[in-house]
Amino acid sequence: MPRRLQPSAVVSRRRFLQEGAACAGSLLALAGGGPLTSRFLSAGQAAQPSQKTSKPGPHRYQGLKSDRYLGSVEVVAKVEDTEIFTEGPAVDAQGNVYFTNVPVSKILRWTPATKQLSVFRENSNQTNGLYFDPQGRLLCCEGGAGRITRTDMKTGAIEVLADKYNGFPFAAPNDLCLDGQGRIYFTSRPGVKDPSQGNVNAVYRIDPDGKVTQLLAWPRIHMPNGIVTSPDNKILYLIESHPDADHHRDIRAYDLAADGSLSNERVLINFYPGRSGDGMCIDAQGNLYVAAGLHKTRKTSETLDTRPGIHVISPEGELIAFRETPLDTITNCAFGGEDLRTLYVTCGNLLLAIRTEIPGKASYRPRG
């Protein structure tokens, strides 16, 4: 039954980043790291930016053709609870929007047909990112339990897909995506200070047979966040969003091989010194829709150079459109609607909707 949500106090993003930033910052003192293959940069090298990527700063927002890509911003739901930090939108085959309120461990459901907001699940183990697989099952990044789960939406049964790597529990899973072969890619942070005592900030892959592979890890990456695959499954995009000075705040692209391995790391777009992206999704033409920026600083080294809202970024790394969102903190987005041309955005205590000219990639629509 739908449940009425209680009065709110919106939680600052800083509260969630503080511990992770402290851990990752301490890791800077460590030398070396895991073995690196020749396909990646060494720990001391910087990824090369795309030649076409726009430079950070206010000028980046000049001359955009935003109306060609994005409609107006509509508030479709307002969350009321004792604490609020919304995240992880995903849309099922019927068009219902699921998203999370992390600090109170709830998964919420917005039903467009009835315009009703309800609680889908309580005690969600601080679930963050969500994703529907092609069979209509709900994948969850259960940050509080350090695991990836899959829910059968017909029976309600919850299956644990992975909860450890190399004998250690995962650091909190944050966001996830799938490729065309059903492999799951997810980000995990904040990691421990000492890699010999646990898992560091990392990106993992879960194969259909359950095998878990660590693809990227500290110090090669700093604070992995949003993650998506391209419509042709040939590129994996990763947001880096470390709040501390002189750390990665960008989107990185990797060639994605048929076997699920990564190579050819490059920086698609750099947000530093502003707040980087958090979550993102991708349209049928390969453009990224990135939730990034701040209205006000939040006691980090992040500046206001990145404006708060949805940034549309081409496969070449050009910012081509932007739509400002009304309050802090914008976190994530997902395509939905009958035509996959409604972008749902989690932003503070609001669920927003923005119509788009280009639909989301076809695999965002579950069959089940």
Q: Where are the domains of the chain?
A: 13-27+47-364
**CATH assignment of 13-27+47-364, among 2.60.40.1180, 2.60.120.260, 3.30.300.130, 2.120.10.30:** 2.120.10.30
CA-wise closest residue to 323 among 65, 63, 66 = 66
What tokens does 289 get? 């829709």
* pTM recorded for the entire structure: 0.88
Q: Is 102 helix (H, G, I), strand (E, B) or coil?
A: helix
Distances 105 to 115, 116, 177 between C-alpha atoms, Å:
22, 20, 21
Contact 292, 271 (CB under 8 A): yes
Distance CA 286, CA 314 (A): 7
Q: What are phi and psi of 291, to 5 degrees?
A: -85, 115
Sequence letter at residue 194: D
Per-residue pLDDT of the chain (368 residues; tens, 9 = 90+): 333 343 344 544 444 444 444 444 433 332 233 333 334 444 334 565 554 556 777 789 999 999 999 999 999 999 999 999 999 999 999 999 999 999 999 999 999 999 999 999 999 999 999 999 999 999 999 999 999 999 999 999 999 999 999 999 999 999 999 999 999 999 999 998 788 899 999 999 999 999 999 999 999 999 999 999 999 999 999 999 999 999 999 999 999 999 999 999 999 999 999 999 999 999 999 999 999 999 999 999 999 999 999 999 999 999 999 999 999 999 999 999 999 999 999 999 999 999 999 999 999 999 87
Contact 97, 154 (CB under 8 A): no
What tokens does 187 get? 């980000």
